[in-house]
Structures are given as C-alpha cells and as structure tokens.
Structure 1
Amino acid sequence: MTAMSTRQESGSVSRRPGQCVCALRPPLIAALVHTLSVPALVWPRDLGGTVLDHLTLANGDRLDFFIEGEGDALLIYHHGTPAAGPPSADMVEAATSNGFVLAELVRPGYGQSTRQPGRTVADIAPLVASLADHLGHDRFVTMGWSGGGPHAIATAALLPERCLAAKSLAGVAPYGEPDLDFMAGMGEDNICEFGAALQGAAQLEAFLTEAHAQMRDVTADQVVEAMISLLPPVDQGYLSGKEAEEMAAELRWSLAHGIWGWFDDDVAFTLPWGFDLAAVTRPVQIWQGSEDLMVPFAHGQWLAGNVGGAQPYLVNGHGHLSLAATCFGPGFAALREAL
C-alpha cells in the first residue's frame, strides 16, 4: 500500500477500473527476491528496550515479533503494508505510558516470519492467539495501522473472549462492497498497486518487484519524493526529522527479505476477509483522516457504518500519517480502559 513512484509524465489519461498508467520495467530475476541478504540496519532512534524476538508455532513455522514495555497489560500491534519494523518512538511512548507491553506481530512473509501463501485476513487470529499465549496474557487489546487495520478488526471479531477492544488507524476497508468505490480517492501509486493485484499474481509480482528495487535502500531524504502521490501536504509536513528517518528505516527493514509479505497482504485485501464485520461485538475505534491518499476517507466512513461495535473518529484535516500524532494518546487510553 506504500509504493515508490513509478509514474510517467503524461497528459490526461482515461483509465478503466483497475487499469494503471504506471510504467513497469521487466521484473528482476525472481531468485534474487528470494535470496536477498538482510543488511545490518541502523535504526534512527535508540531502541532502548525494544527487542526483536520470535516463537515457533505448533506446525513448526516461525513468527517474529517486536516487544517493548513492562506494563501489566498487552497491546498487540498489527503493522502496515509494507511497514514492519520496530514501532515508532511515539507509539512506544503512548503505549508504555498507558501501562502496556507493546508487541508488534510481524506478519507471515515479513522479516523471518514463515510465509503463508494464500493467507486471508482472518488467518491472523490464530497467530495472535499464539503470540498472546507465548507472552502469558489471556486477555489483551489490539491496534492496526493501514494494512494492519483489517487484521486488528479480525482479531476482535474472531477472538472476542480474549481481545477486549481494537483500534483501526487509517485501515483499509474490504474490496468488492457495492457501496464503496475501493480505489476512488487513492493516490496514483496505490491505484497502480491494487490494479496490479486485481489483474493477477504475475502482474502484482512484477509491480512489487519493481517497487522493491526502488524502495529497499530508501533514505529519509528520499522518502517524501518516493511516496509523493500518496502524501497530501499534511503528511508531507509530518515526514520531517525523526518521522522521515523512522519511515525510511521501517521500509528498508520490511523489504530486506523481499516482496512476499507485501504481496500476500495485497492479495488478502482483494479477497473476502473471512468473517462477518457486522457481527463484531467488541468496541472497535475507527480512526480516519479526511486528507488520506493511501486509504481514502471513504474507507473509514464505510468501516464506521458497517463494523459491529464501531466507534468512529473521523477527523478533518489529517492524512494517513499525521493522524497518528492525534490518535495515539486518546486511542491507547481508551484501549486501556477496556481491560
């Protein structure tokens, strides 16, 4: 959902639904994607107590997770697409100040988490349960940002006895709903990305391989230009200083093992999620900014009207990234009250 710009300069172009005007070079040799070495990444902040750990699932798969904090309550964080990597300093501060242990689940295909080709959004639930068990927490709350939003909602829907509340921050809504134009209002790069996903696996692999080649070494100085079609002015302003450093490092970490976590996320977003959103009984905060070009405002409006237990926080003037500065504090405080 975050792609390096690959647009060609052009005049007005008419586009069929799902058709993209982005130009893609031929894909890299596929073997290179599978065998990329993982660089020693320098993170732009002192990670303090943040630890990258992993657990081995019952079927032998590996599941990576980041963890920080010494609170008595567990907050499981679902990262964006492709935005694995240590949680931001602001997120850690908001979580730990509310007494949480913050655990970021690194989805299959990212980091060294074993890939699960064909996974659906609903498939996150048993992974969350395994992580909570591993950390010794019977009950917990959850949050997802962007591509993590559907996974947070799935956690609340499918583990209602354990997940007592959820928060979706700029989360994507389901594809194919008759009352939601899924790509309307997206920046050009996301129209290209989802258009490729809808065309098929080969087209999506080609698109993401090209984007990967351009983004895997992105720096803080390059990140705004790299994502320019997806960033309204308020998000461009947000991406300065440590936020730009964190975003660039997050992308580099996410892509160090290739495209497959990103690929599987995109495919999952175009398929049925695997559960009934209207049947969610736990409170679910729906945070969405009116200026968002990655996940348009209409997605938040749709979720607010269709997720059972939805608590809408539809905010004027904010984008996909800037909304974080507004919502971390009150959102985490409300999650804490649910425990």
Structure 2
Amino acid sequence: MFWKAIAVLLIALLAWSYQALCPPTPRLCGSTGGPSVEGPRIKLRDGRHLAYLEHGVSKETANYKIILVHGFGSNKNEAHFARSALVEKLGIHLVSFDRPGYGESDPDPKRTVESIALDIEELGDKLALGPKFYIIGTSMGGQVVWGCLKYIPHRLAGVAMIAPVINYWWPGFPAKLATEAYYEQFPQDQWALRVAHYAPSLVYWWNTQKWFPPSSVAAGRPNFTAPDLQVLAKLSASMVNRVLVFISFLEWHETEETAFTSYLACRQDYSTQQGLFESLHRDMMIGFGSWDFDPMDLDNPFVDREGSVHLWQGDNDGLVPVTLQSYIAKKLRWIQYHEMPNAGHLFPHGDITATDAILNALLVGDK
C-alpha cells in the first residue's frame, strides 16, 4: 500500500511538472475562441500570416520605403516614425508589422534569426516595395535587423538600429567586458537570461512560476532609467486621454511607476493576445540563444556607399549596456554610431527631434 501511494504521488508530480513546463496552445487569430482578425495580413511561404499597417505617402509616389521592426512587447500600431513631419516632406512610405506570435501575426514555432529576416523580405515582396527597402528596428526589433544584414543584405537600401538588444554570448565580445555588463543587470534578469540561453525549454516555466522572480522585462518591471520614466509618463497620459476620455472629469494622480503600468497594460493586451510564449518568451529564446553567426563578423553591405548602417544608443540606457554597443561600433567601423547624451532606452518615443534625426541620417545623410 505504501509503495502504491508513492507511485501515485510520483505520477502526480510528473503530471504537474509536465503541465508546468509546457506552454499552453496559442490562441490563433481567426480561430474558434481566438482573437479576431481586424487588419490586413499577407500569407507567407509556409502558410503563416503576417499582419501589417501602411503609413505615410502612397508607395506609388514615395521616394523612400521603410519597414519598421517593433520591439519586445510591442506591435505594429506603435509606428511613432509615421508621426514625423519628414514623412510628407521627404515622401516616405512606411510599413509596420506584427512580428510572429505578436498581435495578429501567426506564431512561428520554428522561428530563428534567419526566418524572421526572410519574413521581412517576403513582406517587402508581397507589398511591392521594390528590389530594395530601408529597415528601422527598435530594441528587440533592432536585434532582428542583425539577421537582415546577414541573410538579406541585397534587399537593403539602408538600416537604422535603435538601442538593439545585446546577446551577451556573442563570441566577438571580450569575456571581461561582456561579464561586467552582464552583472550590471538585475539578479533576476541574469538568471532569466541564463535560462533562455542554456535551457530554452524552461523559459515558459521560469517566467510563470512563483518561486523565483522572472525576467523583469517580461514581468513589466524593467530597469528603466529616469529619462525613460519621463517618456513613459507622457505616453501613458496620452493613452489615458485617448482611451478613457469619458472619465476625463476625474483627477489623475499617477506616479511615474503607475503611469508605466497603465501604459504597459494597454500596450500588451493586443501584443500578447495569442499568448505570452510565442511572443515574449520566444523572443527571449531567440534573442539570447546560440546564433549561427556573430554580428561582429559581418561585412559592410554598402561597400559601394549607396546605403548606410546607423546604430543609435542612449548613454543612460538601463536595458542595453552602452559599453557593449560602443564596442560593436568600434569593431564594425562601417557602422555610423550615434550615442545620445542623457537618453534612456525609449528616447525616440519621447522626442520628435530624435525621430527626425534618425530619419534624416538614414535617408538624407550626405546627399
């Protein structure tokens, strides 16, 4: 009887462990019980759908065509570059899209650094953006752009990466420099990234269990610095005014921290509506996993000087270490590096002059 009880307990423990480790099935857009499909989508080579939005002047009259790649926990709707006055002045057509697993884009369980670059290439083809187009990637979307430089350089007219996320295991970094930057993170993020790199099958469990603190970014409590909190307070106030205008008679007393909470909640409702695993968690697995190439081994895709690569980084960024970013720029001399003083991770979102500077440098440059 005793051994039977032990066996039952072991079976129950195994069943519980399996359930805790396995992420739930994604709630596919357009499926029974899943979110509805509200916007346009293209069908990709493997049958998946990619949701997108077009902004700015018509592509038929545009002088420049840009694909925007959003960051962690974001989506196609946050195309802040489309608000620049330069869009009309320079004749810019922009396309933002939900990366796989985000918003209304189907998940890609086989997603790799290469596959998302090929998705972007196919998006450009399906929308008839021409043989070459520009790409702007922000944060985790900026990291995605490294894959475009590796796998589809022949399709690029120019590139801008804004505070692209660093993978601490890229072999081109000096070990001492990477280690020092790694230990500047919150302890909980050090553990979360170890799990993502060394045990990716445990990423879902690690970020949903209650015993240890999960990734601060995935949990909505990243290491934003003072400049970022000021940006988020403005964004939150703007969103609250738009979404909750019917209760505008109330007196709001939000601190910067609660402003961020309000902003993040509104933002992630759509971004992660198909599930956290195929959006946030797979981002971590890909971004901090083992890559097939080292960005610091890449060659200049514009040796003919018909395009340029720009890397923008705030010197007060609490999420992406400026020491590692500047090292990449020194290693790859063909990158035009722009370090923004007293700026955090979100600097383009709060300052239209920064957005204009990014567009001007990418599109006009020395022309």
The verdict on a shared fold, with TM-score over 0.5 as the criterion, is yes
Spell out, residue by residue over 1:187-240, the C-alpha distance to the aligned partner (whole angstroms, 9 max, x if none): 4553343133134234310233469xxxxxxxxxxxx9x745511111111111
Quick check: 1:121 aligned with 2:113?
A: yes
Normalising by structure 2, we get a TM-score of 0.69
Map of 1:91 onto structure 2: 81
Give me the whole-angstrom Cα distance separating, in 1, the residues matched to 2:92 and 2:291: 28
Aligned residue pairs total: 294
CA shift at 1:265, angstroms? Answer: 1.5
Normalising by structure 1, we get a TM-score of 0.74
The secondary structure found in structure 2 opposite 1:63 is: strand
Map of 1:200 onto structure 2: 199
CA shift at 1:136, angstroms? Answer: 0.9
Residues 85 and 29 from structure 1, CA distance in 2 versus in 1: closer, same or farther, beyond 3 angstroms? farther
Q: Is the 8 A contact 1:230 1:293 kept in 2?
A: yes
Residues 300 and 327 from structure 1, CA distance in 2 versus in 1: closer, same or farther, beyond 3 angstroms? farther
Quick check: 1:108 aligned with 2:128?
A: no
The secondary structure found in structure 1 opposite 2:140 is: helix
The secondary structure found in structure 1 opposite 2:40 is: strand
List gaps (5 residues or longer) in structure 1.
1-25, 41-50, 212-223
CA shift at 1:120, angstroms? Answer: 2.2
Quick check: 1:253 aligned with 2:253?
A: no
Give me the whole-angstrom Cα distance separating, in 2, the residues matched to 1:253 and 1:307: 37
Give me the whole-angstrom Cα distance separating, in 2, the residues matched to 1:29 and 1:206: 5
CA shift at 1:119, angstroms? Answer: 2.4
Amino acid at match of 1:331: I
Give me the whole-angstrom Cα distance separating, in 2, the residues matched to 1:167 and 1:287: 8
CA shift at 1:133, angstroms? Answer: 0.9
Map of 2:69 onto structure 1: 78
Amino acid at match of 1:269: G
Amino acid at match of 1:55: I
List gaps (5 residues or longer) in structure 2.
1-17, 211-216, 240-262, 303-307
Quick check: 1:331 aligned with 2:358?
A: yes
Identity of aligned residues (%): 22
Give me the whole-angstrom Cα distance separating, in 1, the residues matched to 2:209 and 2:355: 33
Spell out, residue by residue over 1:59-104, the C-alpha distance to the aligned partner (whole angstroms, 9 max, x if none): 212112222222412111111112224024x422126344222212
CA shift at 1:184, angstroms? Answer: 3.5
Quick check: 1:268 aligned with 2:295?
A: no
Kindly report structure 1 stretches of 4+ aligned residues shifted beyond 4 Å: 26-33, 36-40, 226-229
Residues 269 and 318 from structure 1, CA distance in 2 versus in 1: closer, same or farther, beyond 3 angstroms? same
The secondary structure found in structure 2 opposite 1:230 is: coil
Based on CA coordinates, which of the two structures has the bigger radius of gyration? 2
Map of 1:292 onto structure 2: 317
Residues 204 and 188 from structure 1, CA distance in 2 versus in 1: closer, same or farther, beyond 3 angstroms? same
Quick check: 1:232 aligned with 2:231?
A: no
Greater relative CO (CA pairs within 8 A, separation 6+): 1
Alignment of 1:100-249 (within 5 A): 100-138=92-130, 139-176=132-169, 177=171, 178-179=173-174, 180-181=178-179, 183-188=182-187, 190-209=189-208, 227-243=220-236, 245=239, 247-249=264-266
CA shift at 1:334, angstroms? Answer: 2.2
The secondary structure found in structure 2 opposite 1:112 is: coil
Give me the whole-angstrom Cα distance separating, in 1, the residues matched to 2:236 and 2:141: 19
Residues 208 and 96 from structure 1, CA distance in 2 versus in 1: closer, same or farther, beyond 3 angstroms? farther
Amino acid at match of 2:56: G
Q: Is the 8 A contact 1:187 1:293 kept in 2?
A: no
Residues 255 and 141 from structure 1, CA distance in 2 versus in 1: closer, same or farther, beyond 3 angstroms? same
Residues 270 and 276 from structure 1, CA distance in 2 versus in 1: closer, same or farther, beyond 3 angstroms? closer
Quick check: 1:279 aligned with 2:278?
A: no
Segment drifting more, 30-39 vs 98-107? 30-39
Amino acid at match of 2:141: G
Residues 293 and 137 from structure 1, CA distance in 2 versus in 1: closer, same or farther, beyond 3 angstroms? same
Map of 2:49 onto structure 1: 62
CA shift at 1:58, angstroms? Answer: 2.4
Q: Is the 8 A contact 2:27 2:34 kept in 1?
A: no
